[in-house]
Amino acid sequence: MTRDVAIIGVGMTKFGEFWERGYRSLITEAGSKAIIDAGIDGKDIDAVYVGSMTPGRLIGQEHVGALVADYAGLTGIPATRVEAACASGGLALHQAFLAIKSGLYDIVVVGGVEKMTDVSTEHATVALAGAADQEWEGFHGITFPGLYAMMARRHMIDYGTTEEQISMVAVKNHANGKLNPNAQFQYEVTLEDVLHSSMVADPLRLLHCSPITDGAATVVLASSEKAKKLCERPIWVRGSAIATDTLSLHERKSITRVEASIVAGKKAYEMAGVKPDDIDFAEVHDCFTIAEILAIESLGFCKMGEGGKTTENGETRIGGRIPINTSGGLKAKGHPVGATGIAQAIEATWQLRGQAEKRQVKGAKVGLAQNVGGSGATCTVHIFSPEK
Catalytically annotated residues: 86, 335
| Phi, psi (rounded to 5 degrees) for 314 | 80, 10
Residue type, 48: V
* Residue 164 CB neighbour total at 10 angstroms: 14
Q: Look at strands 367-373 and 281-283 and give their pairing.
A: parallel
| Residue 279, SS3 per DSSP | coil
What is residue 317's DSSP assignment? S
- Alpha-carbon distance of 124 to 133, in angstroms, equals 17
Query: Residues 16-38, buried b or exposed e (16+ Cβ, 10 A)?
Result: bebeebebbbbbbbbbebbbebb
Spatial distance between the Cα atoms of 290 and 152, rounded to a whole number of angstroms: 6
Distance between CA atoms of residues 346 and 326, nearest Å: 12
For residue 266, what are the CA distances in angstroms to 43, 240, 262, 292, 299?
Answer: 37, 10, 6, 18, 8
Measured CA to CA, the distance from residue 195 to residue 207 in angstroms comes to 8
